[in-house]
Structure 1
Amino acid sequence: MAHIFQGPLKRSTAKFLHPARFQAVVGITLPQQSANLTSVKGMQSETLKSRGKPWNYEKHPYNHFYFFIDNTLKRFNDNSKVIVIDGNIGVGKTEFGKKLAEEFDMHFFPDVDSNEIFKIKNRNFDVRMVNDVLPVHARFCDMPTFYEQKVPRPQLLRFGYTQLQIYKARYFNYLKALVHILSTGQGVVVERSVFSDMVFVDAMRKFKHLTSPGHRHLHHARTNTICELWRPHLVVYLDAPVSHVREQIQKRNLPWEVKSPVLTDDFIAEISNVYKNKYLEEMKSKSEIIQYNVTDMPDWEIIVEDFEEVDLEPHLDADPFKFVDWMASEIAEEDYCSYRFHVSQTQEHDSLFNFHIPFDAPEMFWNGEDAHLLRNYIDHDPAVETDPDYRGWGALFKSPL
């Protein structure tokens, strides 16, 4: 059955102006958001407010001009919420997320494809093609290579850099989800939260798959970028015992997973431990949490009732920090529009990832000699050399928005 975790009650000395008094002071009326989700297939579906015509954010990215002519909250209804689906390997996050999105008329954002981070966008070029001509310590390490553990350790340590790029891809995936909900009013379901990326980082460090400086740099990257993102309203954690995860790995039958010396029972258990003891503890102060054990899932009708009953409305007297990012009844329309403008500025967010060079973690960057060699092979490859729009190999890791 479902278990809903409530964050601990917190007292704060901060003074909040009651919505009614706020409206009286500024002379405006702010829209009140509903506390509960509403299934579009249920008996209450007729009460769900229409969102109206969505803003085409792909064709017309929100800018300073649009800021003054298109409001944000007018499109919000009961289901204008952000939900993330988290859990261990093979617990059914994709299927659950898709079904949930369909039930509540939300847009589903699947987890990122780790293979895409090695490809120069819109080009027929994969940087892993040059591994054979690079020194071992400078070669790219993708997920299959890491899980198989058949290459020298200097290349395996390069997975720390790969993990940083996976985090960055998830950051922009979640950013696009925020752009979607703020531009269309349609709620979003995101598979594998950017906020939970640190779960795998910490698990890998415990089993020495990351160096201490590399682990520290990954946390530095997260700390200095995650603060730009509004947290989800709801976190769904799909729990499973190690035996079930092992069974699902066998069913997926990916050779680099099935025979992996990395995916031991202890490693799988550690992922669950970090999820429960660190990630969920961190998230429950700002978001609501629903947890299911996938080996004892209730009927779908009961799951829908769980989601319709969970309270997603701020209660300032009880907990002033729950849903603090989304307090539409406490902030002006301009603040929502300002944040919508902020998340629409792709280059601004891309620049957040221009960190200092971690010289104590050489696996996280290329030294000058290796970078020159890599750049030379990529820039002179026929797939990119004749392309007038190619801006250098650095464009490989530009944001996907």
Structure 2
Amino acid sequence: MALGQARLCSLLGRSWVLCTRPSTLVAPGVVEGHKQLTTQPNYKKPFPYRRKKFSFMRSLIEYTSARMNENSRIILVEGLPCVGKSEFAKKLADNFKLKYIPPFTDDDVFVICGLDKRETDGLMPTERLKCYDMDSFYAGLDPQKKLFYGNTQINYFKQRWEQYLLALRHIMNTGQGVVLENSVYSDMVYALNMADHGYFTKKGLRWYMEHRENSLYLFWKPHLIIHLDAPSSYIEKKMKEKYPKLQNSPVLNEAYLDGWRKKYNEVYLPEMRQHCDTLYYDIREMEDLDLLFMDLEGMDLISARFGESTKFADWHKQKEEQWSMYRLTLESEHYIQHIDDWHGPWECPELAMDGEELTYLEYLFQFIPQYSYDPNYWYDKDGNFIPRELLKEVSPVTLASEDPTCNQGVPPTPKVTS
């Protein structure tokens, strides 16, 4: 920061004094001064980070630490399916005026610019190139295809990684806390349980855990994890009531759900307790939510504690420079893309494709226009692409996934060629 200011001074001359600040500026007392959640947070006017880029020049006058307040917290609501996570998370966010980020769906993974990749399975020459979603997973397909679900789980990890990145960007640019469901940190629970039931090879699981470690070092840990739980028999019954097509699923049974719960209680939660607070609730015995939220208001989710030096450590920054530099890192598209990008390891054939498969895909992409579209761009019903930055200036615009019937026009030159 100091070096950047020195270079800036040589360019601006004496006027540099107006747009610089001491690199040792101590952050306000937000880190230790405002400790408990409140139902009436005092948020400052948010920075429009979706339309404007937070740059080094803006960091000189836009102080990140000044945005932090008692509700600048990341709260994770974790648990198995059908335990009421979504309803609980929404009410929690509404009560404390936090932002709720809903969980992703299979469409977020398999739909690109209005094209459902699952519809192209008939064009794929090998089973490895086909799409395997949760419906086919619970249907219990041929055991020889079980290992291909490892690739799907890695795609789910990527979706959760991007959601947590969005949560951090939101809190840094607005000061508003965020509530998430089943985060990128708990994704390993699913991977470990899948490995126990033959959906991951040992090499594939080892690569997944290495990729997880390399991807998560960028993130600051959450402040609170709320774990909603119930017996496996209860969850199995609820899932089959909600999704009748799972009635005869060979995968959905108490043994599989027990493995899930065991990984939560013996692997995930002990690891996260070193960095944040955790709460456990059996949904069959949950008290009134208003009383529960009153208990949350009394929790200190930021102060350092004796003997727990790693808890909330990521958020104990004393200088504005530290907050701004981290915020700039989260806004660096090149840096984020480098971390988020991954390629299947050659030693794990179930996670990687060979040269012939890659050549076929490059050839196929030339005849499927949706694969040529950059997902960072929007387009209107005439097929005219509009950069996301100009979204507010052009109307009407429609995202492909919202209106798959729109005319997509003449596709641009494919990114990959045969």
TM-score, normalising length from structure 2? Answer: 0.80
Report the Cα offset of residue 390 of structure 1.
Answer: 5.6
| Whole-Å separation in 2 of the counterparts to 1:160 and 1:254 | 25
**Is 1:112 aligned to residue 104 of structure 2?**
yes
* Residue in 2 that maps onto 1:43: none
Structure 1 position 304, deviation (Å): 0.9
RMSD: 2.1
Alignment pair present for 1:128 and 2:118:
yes
Percent identical across equivalent pairs?
A: 30
**TM-fit CA distance, 1:166:** 0.7
Residues 98-126 of structure 1, C-alpha deviation per residue, up to 9 Å, x if partnerless? 00000000000111112321222xx2322
User: 258-267 vs 102-111, which deviates more?
Assistant: 258-267
Cα distance in 1 for partners of 2:333, 2:48 equals: 16
The 1:357/1:124 distance shift into structure 2, 3 A limit, reads: closer
Provide the C-alpha distance between the structure 2 equivalents of 1:296 and 1:389, rounded to a whole number of angstroms: 58
- Bigger drift between 275-284 and 125-134 goes to 125-134
- Using a 3 Å threshold, how does the CA distance of structure 1 residues 334 and 390 change in structure 2: closer, same or farther? farther
CA distance in 2, matches of 1:27, 1:340: 16
- Distance apart, 1:233 and its partner CA: 0.4
Residues 3-152 of structure 1 mapped to structure 2, 5 A cutoff: 28=26, 30-33=28-31, 34-40=34-40, 48=41, 50-120=42-112, 123-134=113-124, 135-150=126-141, 152=142
Equivalent in the alignment of 1:285: 274
CA distance 1:206–1:104, shift in 2 (3 Å): same
Partner of 2:375: none
Q: Which amino acid aligns with 1:39?
A: T
| More displaced 10-residue stretch of structure 1: 224-233 or 57-66 | 57-66
Change (3 A) 1:240 1:337: same
* Residue aligning to 1:45: none
Q: Which range moved further: 50-59 or 125-134?
A: 125-134
Aligned equivalent of 1:315 = 304
Deviation of 1:357 after TM superposition, in Å, equals 4.4
Q: Which residue of 2 aligns with 1:16?
A: none
Q: Distance in 2 between matches of 1:268 and 1:240?
A: 10
Summarize the alignment of residues 256-275 of structure 1 with structure 2, pairs less than 5 Å apart.
257-275=246-264
SS at match of 1:295: coil
The question of 1:306 aligning with 2:304 is answered no
Can you list the C-alpha shifts for 1:300-341, whole angstroms capped at 9, x where unaligned?
12101221122213225342111001114xx21111111111
Unaligned runs of 5+ in 1: 1-24, 41-47, 394-401
The amino acid of 1:288's aligned partner reads: D
Instruction: Establish whether residue 351 from structure 1 lines up as the match of residue 365 from structure 2.
Output: no
Q: 1:28 & 1:212 partners in 2: Cα distance?
A: 48
| Residue of structure 1 aligned with 2:415, choices 382, 386, 391 | 391
Amino acid at match of 2:94: E
- Residue 174 of structure 2 is matched in structure 1 by 184
TM-score (norm 1): 0.83
Assess, with a 3 A threshold, how the Cα gap between structure 1 residues 313 and 354 changes in structure 2: closer, same or farther.
Answer: closer
Please list, as runs of the form range in 1=range in 2, the aligned pairs for 1:159-198 lying within 5 A after superposition. Answer: 159-198=149-188
Q: 1:172-208, CA deviations, whole angstroms, 9 ceiling, x for partnerless residues?
A: 1010010001100011001111100000000011111
2:283 matches 1:294 = yes
Amino acid at match of 1:223: E
* Separation in 1, partners of 2:30, 2:369: 57
Query: Which amino acid is 1:327 matched to?
Result: H
Indicate the SS of the match to 2:225. strand
* Max Rg structure: 2
Provide the rounded CA distance (Å) in 1 between the counterparts of 2:72 and 2:342. 34
